[in-house]
A and B are shown apart, each in its own frame.
Chain A
Amino acid sequence: MRVLVVEDDHETADYITSSLRAEGHLVDHCNNGKDGFLNALDNDYDVMVFDRMLPGLDGLTLIKSVRGAGVDTPIMFLSAMDGINDRVEGLQAGSDDYLIKPFSYHELSARLTALVRRPPLKAEETILRVADLEMNLIRRTVSRDGTPIDLQPREFGLLEYLMRNADRVLTRTMLLEAVWDFHFDPKTSVVETHISRLRNKIDKPFSVELIHTIRGAGYSLHE
């Protein structure tokens, strides 16, 4: 995908752009708000990453200007400020997600992917499939290789989120936010425990593992 990164700290910018390029994405980089604005208008990006504090034009003004110019490309906002009001401001100005520094590349990458390919939420979609795993959203049933699997409601919710985002890396924070609406980092292993339980039901009785742990990043559901 094509990504525009507007970030003035060259080390962070290098880190983001080289990591994204290493994954095969096309990346443009600007180190100030004015160039960022011109680039955002001229080119057809899939997603854009803006730092909050930028020389020339600050991130908030940049987002407003870009949105004001009619560009509706998803924007990820990076900031050292984690106040709720800073976040609200960022989202209200027109960003689609907000990542607080310091962040891990995995978190950024996982969220960017989620932004670009939002899960299809078609009303007629009633059955999710990943390999031989099948989820019926109407009947609220799950089966693998034809064998019915009995899931608790929250296990169902967790699996649904994993299946809708199959092949993507989902970080612990993304799972906490999406499944439990927790916007803090629990001291106990909430995500790990739930994933482990889910694995016991989804993976253990079968030969092929579907839930994969991505070290230092999170989890991914794929064959």
Chain B
Amino acid sequence: MNKTPLLNRLRRSTSVRLSLRFALLYSLLTALVFAVAYKMADYEITHWIKDQLIEEEAVFVGTYNTRGLDGVIADLEAYGIFNFEDNRISLLLDADGRRLAGNVSRIAGDVASGYADASAIAFIGPDENDSFGFVLRNIPLGSNTLVLGTSTYLQAELLEGLGGGLLTGFIFTLMVGAGAGIAVGRRTEHRLRQVSSTLNHVANGDLEARVPLGRNDADDLSRLSAEINRTISQLQQLVDSQKQISADIAHDLRTPMQRIWQRLEAIGQSPELPEALAGDVYETIDAADDLIETFHALLRISQIEAGARRENFSQIDLIAVLNRIEDAYGVVAEEKNQTLTFAVGPNPLSVLGDQQLLTQMMANVIENALRHCPPAARIEVALFLRNDGVVFTVSDNGQGIPEQERQKVFRRFYRVEKSRTTPGNGLGLSLVKAIADLHSAVILLSDNRPGLNVTVTFPKTSETVN
């Protein structure tokens, strides 16, 4: 899992995705707020310019009323002196449209629209203006017309500054947001991975595994982790007490069983035992044997499931194991008039495991076929290497197991209806499953049309083929 490229892992991670989504959302909101701020600033400045022109109109109208056109012309000249970088324009026209005063000679286009491009303005003398355009105001003075204008240069400069500031702010917010999002997401992802890896260990039987807890244990993930740890601890206590119970049962029931057996054996050997009872006594001993066998099998399954035997694992050559089994069961099949064939792959096929348990597992599967198939049945055993690992199969052409029962047969004491009459305790396949699980092998029952096909796939290791 750790080998997947970081980007892929981040893309798949819910927490990283969520964090990035929030970062994006906040950035969009910030952009919206900034855009509104920009628009409002633009609006306010435009208004401010227009208000200024309205106030100036009042001044010039006043001058015209008290001092006449000459007074207006004199004021316009004075007005020109304070004009910084040609930011203000003025043009006084008579009734025929001829220029009487002002710092520009002509304004092209529709003056009444209240705006003119800089290109429409013809300055008198050198043009020092950098503006794109001017906000204009038409002021009627008798039959004359005074046009006043203010450059939008300052407005543009202000808005440019503001826009730049806002954009920088936005980019900064976006970057910080995305960075923090990824960092928070990765941290959460890391902690979730710790949780999932811990649960994996527990599922594999390592009940000592715990989710590491951070120093700051106030957040919900820490609370969840603590909760998970508490659950694992309870599970561990439960398993421990169960193991203890098993050991207690083993000890406490075996002694009375030993006594029953001893007494029966003593009775069986007694010279005074009437011949008529001898058979019964030996049958009772056999029944006690079955009971003890069931008991052994149950304890063995619990013990295997507890994973205790993993300590004895070594590389086991399955071909050698299967050879011994073939040797033992070949004649048994012959006696039952069944055909038992073995097809073994060309290589030494080894798996990491417990030799005794692997022998028992393979023998159990073959025995199952021998016991549940009618005489003249054909049972094929195969061991070979496939891409996904070492495969052990046992196929027969007997009655098979109905599909809906195939998973149930692994349960303890479960027996398929039609096999209830054959001897057995219903623990054979539970044991097979427990041994397969211990070896991380996958066991699959399928229809052999007709009959049953049992496939056990062992995971491939570097030493599978020597």
Residues of A within 8 A of B (CB): 9, 11-12, 15, 53, 80-85, 88, 100-106, 153-154, 180-190, 193-194, 197, 215-216
Contact = CB atoms under 8 A, between A and B. Distances in A.
Contact of B331 (A106, A197, A215): A197
Contact of A83 (B303, B335, B356): B303
B308 A85 contact: yes
Contacts of A180: 324-325, 327-328
B303 to A, nearest CB: 5
Contacts of B300: 82
Given A12-B255, A101-B258, 9 more contacts: A83-B303, A88-B312, A105-B262, A188-B367, A188-B371, A190-B329, A193-B331, A193-B335, A216-B268
Nearest to A154: B327
A82 B250 contact: yes
B259 A12 contact: yes
A9 B255 contact: yes
Given A83-B303, A216-B282, A184 B257 contact: no
Contact of B363 (A11, A154, A182, A197): A182
B398 to A, nearest CB: 15
B296 interface: yes
Interface string B303-334: 10000110110000000000011011101100
17 contacts: A9-B255, A53-B251, A82-B300, A84-B309, A84-B356, A85-B308, A101-B254, A101-B255, A102-B257, A104-B261, A105-B262, A154-B328, A181-B359, A182-B324, A182-B360, A185-B293, A193-B331
A82 B367 contact: no
B428 interface: yes
Contacts of A9: 255, 258
Q: Size class of B's contact patch?
A: 35 or more
B442 interface: no
Contacts of A88: 312
Given A84-B309, A182-B363, A197-B331, A216 B261 contact: no
Interface in B99-132: none
B146 interface: no
B265 A104 contact: yes
B299 interface: yes
A66 B296 CA distance: 30
B136 interface: no
A13 B426 CA distance: 34
Given A85-B308, A188-B367, A183 B299 contact: no
Contact of B250 (A80, A185, A188, A197): A80
Interface in B230-270: 247, 250-251, 254-255, 257-262, 265-266, 268
Given A101-B255, A102-B254, A102-B257, A15 B329 contact: no
B424 interface: yes
Chain B contact residues: over half helix, strand or loop, or mixed? helix
A184 B299 CA distance: 13
Interface of B: 247, 250-251, 254-255, 257-262, 265-266, 268, 282, 285, 292-293, 296, 299-300, 303, 308-309, 311-312, 324-325, 327-329, 331-332, 335, 354, 356, 359-360, 363, 367, 370-371, 423-424, 428
A190 B257 contact: no
Contacts of A182: 324, 328, 359-360, 363
Nearest to A185: B293
Nearest to B424: A187
Contacts of B308: 83-85
B240 to A, nearest CB: 15
Contacts of A11: 259, 262
A9 B268 CA distance: 22
A194 B254 contact: no
B289 to A, nearest CB: 9
Given A81-B247, A82-B296, A184 B255 contact: no
B431 to A, nearest CB: 9
Contacts of A187: 367, 371, 423-424, 428
B135 to A, nearest CB: 96
A190 B364 CA distance: 12
Nearest to A16: B262
A151 B311 CA distance: 40
Contacts of A153: 327
B156 to A, nearest CB: 87
A80 B254 contact: yes
Nearest to A189: B332
Contacts of A183: 356, 359-360
A104 B329 CA distance: 26
Contacts of B296: 82, 100, 185
B328 to A, nearest CB: 5
B8 to A, nearest CB: 43
Nearest to A78: B258
Most buried by B among A153, A180, A184, A190: A184
Contacts of B251: 53, 80-81
Closest 5 CB pairs of A and B: A102-B258, A80-B254, A15-B262, A102-B257, A184-B360
Contacts of B247: 81
B336 to A, nearest CB: 9
Nearest to A183: B356
A216 B293 CA distance: 16
A145 B331 CA distance: 27
